[in-house]
Amino acid sequence: MNLLAIETATDTVGVALLRDDGGAAELVHGGGREHAERLAPMIEEVCAVAGTPLADVDLVAVDIGPGLFTGLRVGVATAKALAQARDLPVLGITSLDVLGAAAAGEIVSEDASSVEVIVPVVDARRGEVFVAAYAAGGRAKGVAGENAARAQVIDPGPPLDEPRAPIDPEAMLTWIGGFGSGPGTVRVVGDGALRYLHRLALLPDLDVGRAESLASPPPAVLARLAALRLAAGTAAVGAADLAPDYRRPADVRINWEQRPPFGSSGSQASVAAPVRPGVDRG
């Protein structure tokens, strides 16, 4: 199976193509929130690099969030369009699962046996983060092939805990702190961990050394995690059944619901400015 993976949950835009012979290609563009402008050309390029025409892709995997509203809209819409055009199955995986899988693979490669819990932290903007906690051992090991050590992916399995709503930094510190059982037993990753690194570093049980290198979910890990889950029996869906996992209302809806009633004091000052194309306000 030739599998195309689309990663747009954070500021980073990424694509990967995992061939049926185990070979893979990956492209990543960091920063700038240029998801809409970058994604289609990157898909064409990764297919060329992998030597696999888009017409030969059998399945599309996509990060469904949580993360940036604009990025998720672009990524999921692109996955749906590709799937609809060629009647392909699609598989959505959360950004937290992808980060958890990437961290679990690194822990195995490093033989970091002291790490017991992995906590991906995704920046939700507006002073909040999305979090989940996974057992460091995961539930399924390895993807064989060339460069096996670099390709190591561990399915983190179901989260130990995963708040469905974003939380603020103080709640994050309390929540993460509850998983520690000694120095270095909790590894935090993700752009949210990077943003609040100065505060997380105050918790003695946390390993924060990979927050920068794993700030965004790697598209190659998304591809390999999708392959693992498909092999384990997870069912792909049709394009019509694919949806982003925002975990809170869209920003425009939030701004409208929080606006004072028309005619009340301060109502005009609180009207949200129009959302500019390509600019994420989340």
Q: Is the same domain home to 45 and 102?
A: no
User: Cα(48)–Cα(90) distance, rounded to whole angstroms?
Assistant: 21
> What residue numbers bound the domain in which 127 lies?
96-207
Largest Cα–Cα distance of the chain, in whole Å?
Answer: 66
The verdict on 125 and 148 lying in the same domain is yes
Task: Give the pLDDT confidence score for residue 250 in this predicted structure.
Answer: 63
Q: For the domain that residue 66 is a member of, what is the CATH number?
A: 3.30.420.40
- The CA distances from residue 159 to 18, 33, 219, in Å, are 26, 29, 20
Residues 168 and 111 in one domain: yes
Q: Give the pLDDT of residue 280.
A: 46
**Region at 39 (left for phi over 0; alpha for psi -120 to 50; beta for the rest):** alpha
pLDDT at 138: 62
Answer yes or no: is 175 within a domain: yes
What is residue 36's predicted lDDT score, i.e. its pLDDT?
93
Residue 37 sits in the same domain as residue 22: yes
Question: CATH code at 194?
Answer: 3.30.420
Q: 7, 31, 58: which is closest to 219 by C-alpha?
A: 7
In a domain, 46, yes or no: yes
Q: What is the pLDDT along the chain (282 residues), one digit of tens a residue?
A: 999 999 999 999 999 999 999 999 999 998 777 899 999 999 999 999 999 999 999 999 999 999 999 999 999 999 999 999 999 999 999 999 999 999 999 998 888 889 999 999 999 999 999 999 999 976 534 443 333 334 468 899 999 999 999 999 999 999 999 999 999 999 999 999 999 999 999 999 999 988 889 999 999 999 999 999 999 999 999 999 999 999 987 654 444 344 444 444 443 333 333 344 444 445
- Angle at CA 94, nearest 5°, toward 21 and 275? 120
Same domain, 23 and 159: no
- Residue 251's pLDDT is 56
**Residue 277 phi, psi dihedral angles, 5° rounding:** -55, 135
Q: Cβ–Cβ contacts within 10 Å for residue 167, how many?
A: 17
Question: Measured between alpha carbons, how far is 52 from 54 in angstroms, rounded to an integer?
Answer: 6
Q: Are residues 60 and 13 in the same domain?
A: yes
Residue 84's CB is within 10 A of a number of other CB atoms, namely: 14
The pLDDT value given to residue 32: 72
From the CA atom positions of the chain, what is the Rg in Å? 19
- Token representation of residue 56: 């030969």
Domains in the chain, number: 2
Q: What is the pLDDT of residue 249?
A: 76
Tell me, what's the pLDDT at 38?
94
Q: Looking at residue 248, what is its pLDDT? A: 83
